Amino acid sequence: MNFSIIFVALCIAFMIWALIADRLKPGLILFSCVVLMLCAGILTPKECLEGFSNKGMITVALLFLVSEGVRRSGVLEQMLNRLLPKGETTVQKANMRLLPCVSLVSAFLNNTPVVVIFAPMIRNWARKMHLPSTKFLIPLSYATILGGICTLIGTSTNLVVDGLMLDSGMEGIPMFEIGKIGIIIAIVGLSYLICYSHYLLPDHREADAELDEKSKDTTRVEVLLRSRFPGLGKTIRGFDFYRHYGANVISIRRNGELLTGDWMNQRMLNHDSLILETDRKFVKAYHDSSAFLISSYNEDDFQLQGGKRKLAVLLLLFLVGGATIGELPFMKQWVPGLKFDMFFFACITTIIMAWTGMFNPRKYTKFMSWDVLVTIACAFSISKGMQNSGFADYVAGFIIDAAESLGTTSGGPYAMMAILFLITNLFTEIITNNAAAALAFPLALSVSDKLGVDPMPFFMCICVAASAAFSTPIGYQTNLLVQGIGGYKFTDYVKVGLPLNIIVFVICVFVIPLIWPIVPV
């Protein structure tokens, strides 16, 4: 083990500690790791910056804008209103009707706006039907994650792996390639949620009645604090929320628990959920704030009307259909000078949405999650550093040795798949899904190189494992969103999510090698 391997191992250990401790925003933590590798000569300046021009990273940025245009169209609200039962029903029947459609939508849209729109509507509907909303919100989040696994654009994790493959000189992932395993996982996972989640989730949390409207002039809004919120570390009484935002804080919830006692003197922390009493202009003024995420409100403001609403649907179909058809061989022969991939159609769709006013073009940067983009770009560089230093090869040797000791010759590939899944899934539960995929990618590449086999099955394993964040609320942003709205405890995620993690693990280990055989190349 040489200096470079030891140094990269220490950098990664530092990065994981800093992410768990939440010392800085993830993007800045990963950038710090990149700078350390630059100072040690493991990365060149060019390699440090390559991630910022990666096609996968830029495609993620464009899809943020596409999702915003679709979100404002009001199509999702219309769809959900038709899905929610109007007459007497049960939790299981409602989830059977709701969850598959949620997964279908999230296969083509960013998961966060789907949950932001659906969660408050489902909670209000459940209250009217005298059903506990806690039976629906965690399954809602999990359904969006399961849907995201089914397509290339369903989650940024898949686009990260696709970008790393392109950087390594390989063909990228076709639009529906991951759906070969993703659809199987989605069907089994949704069946589990529909049949069993209502037995494992609590019947009631005091959050259910907190967003009742006060009057015609005031409303209550729920916000999830972000790391750029200026009041972090300050007490609610000392920050004066009304002076800053024209709203009064009614209550505060942390880790699913409603703070009681002298809660006005509690210091506000990142991911705290606040219930605000304000006027009806608040949502319109701060819906794109970088300080907090409005996760629930009682109005359907700023939706597009008429022709623009239909155009939003047509553009989404254009994006998905174009990227799918563009991968067919006859398209490559027809126009050999152009690559009709997801990036190509995302560029066109974004520009049309901007010029037709489907999102505010003067504030387009606010609709992008910049820290996610910086995290992805830096993760590419860290992945490169793991390869340059020999760290990836070193760890790959351990994975192969462990697999050989755990399984016979015929069981070796399954053991390697299992170890790679567990490493990636552990990373995604404690840090971020995009960083987890980027850290696991060089390990998968090194394992396949050492064995002389096709790396595709290992890449598919990474895509699934990095998205399968079910056991903790911090593993995926949508889990955090529903935690505040539903008042869930950490243990609620373990009860429902851990069995789902095990289900996904078993399917990946035993089905992926059947779809993409581990064969010599």
What are the tens digits of pLDDT across the range 61-77? 888 888 888 877 778 87
For tokens 């590798």, name the residue: 37
* CATH label of the domain that carries residue 255: 3.30.70.1450
Token look-up 């990269």 returns 8
Between 327 and 241, the higher pLDDT residue: 241
pLDDT classification of 516: cutoffs 50, 70, 90: very high
Tens of pLDDT, residue by residue over 170-183, are: 888 888 899 999 99
Domain span at residue 316 reads 306-367
Confidence of residue 299 (pLDDT cuts 50, 70, 90): very low
Per-residue pLDDT tens digits for 425-473: 988 887 778 888 888 899 888 888 888 888 999 999 999 999 998 988 8
Among 349, 367, 385, identify where a domain stops: 367
pLDDT at 301: 46
Residue 462 resides in a domain: no
| pLDDT confidence of residue 458 | 93
> Per-residue confidence at 204, pLDDT binned at 50, 70, 90?
low
For the chain, what's the residue count?
A: 521
Q: Which of 244, 263, 296 is the last residue of a domain?
A: 296
Q: Could you tell me if 290 and 321 lie in one domain? A: no
Confidence of residue 406 (pLDDT cuts 50, 70, 90): low
Same domain, 312 and 287: no
What pairing do the DSSP bridges indicate for beta strands 292-296 and 257-258? unpaired
List the strands of the sheet with 273-279, edge to edge.
Answer: 257-258, 247-254, 273-279, 218-225, 292-296
pLDDT per position as a tens digit, 131-162: 888 899 999 999 999 999 999 888 888 988 98
Query: Among 34-38, 97-101, 295-299, 503-507, whose mean pLDDT is lowest?
Result: 295-299
Q: How many percent of the chain have pLDDT more than 90?
A: 22
Q: Is the pTM of this model over 0.85?
A: no
At how many degrees (to 10) do helices 370-389 and 156-167 cross? 40
Give yes or no for residue 409 having a pLDDT over 70: no
- Residue 383, in any domain of the structure: no
pLDDT at 283 over 90: no
Most confident segment among 175-184, 212-221, 230-239, 240-249: 175-184
Q: Is residue 473, in this structure, part of any structural domain at all? A: no
Residue 181 has a pLDDT of 95
Q: How far apart are CA 60 and CA 43, in angstroms?
A: 24
Domain total in the chain: 2
Q: Predicted confidence band at 191 (pLDDT cuts at 50, 70, 90)?
A: very high
In a domain, 178, yes or no: no
378 in a domain, yes or no? no
Looking at the fold, whether 282 and 227 belong to one and the same domain comes out as yes
Q: Rounded to whole angstroms, what are the CA distances from 410 to 81, 386, 404, 512? A: 51, 30, 10, 15
pLDDT of residue 317: 87
Cβ burial, residue 518 (10 Å; 0-12/13-18/19+):
buried
Residue 257 falls within a domain, yes or no? yes
Could you read off the pLDDT of 475-484 as tens digits, one per residue? Answer: 777 887 788 7
Higher pLDDT, 16 or 293: 16
261: exposed, middle or buried (Cβ count in 10 Å: 0-12, 13-18, 19+): exposed
Given pLDDT bands bounded at 50, 70 and 90, which one contains residue 501?
very high
pLDDT, position 290: 67
- Asked if residue 290 and residue 228 are part of one domain, the reply reads yes
Q: Is the pLDDT at 302 greater than 50, yes or no?
A: no
Structure tokens at 459: 């890449």
CB within 8 A of 42, min separation 6: which ones?
A: 4, 7, 8, 385, 388, 389
Task: Report pLDDT for 194.
Answer: 95
225 and 291, same domain (yes or no): yes
Distance between first and last Cα of the chain: 29
Bridge pairing between strands 218-225 and 292-296: antiparallel
- Rg, Å, the chain Cα set: 23
Average pLDDT, the chain: 83
Does the residue 116 lie in any domain?
no
Q: Give the end of a domain, one of 318, 340, 367.
A: 367
Whether residue 223 is contained in a domain is answered as yes
Whether residues 289 and 225 share a domain: the answer is: yes
* Average pLDDT rounded to a whole number, residues 211-216: 51
The Cα–Cα gap between 497 and 483 comes to: 13
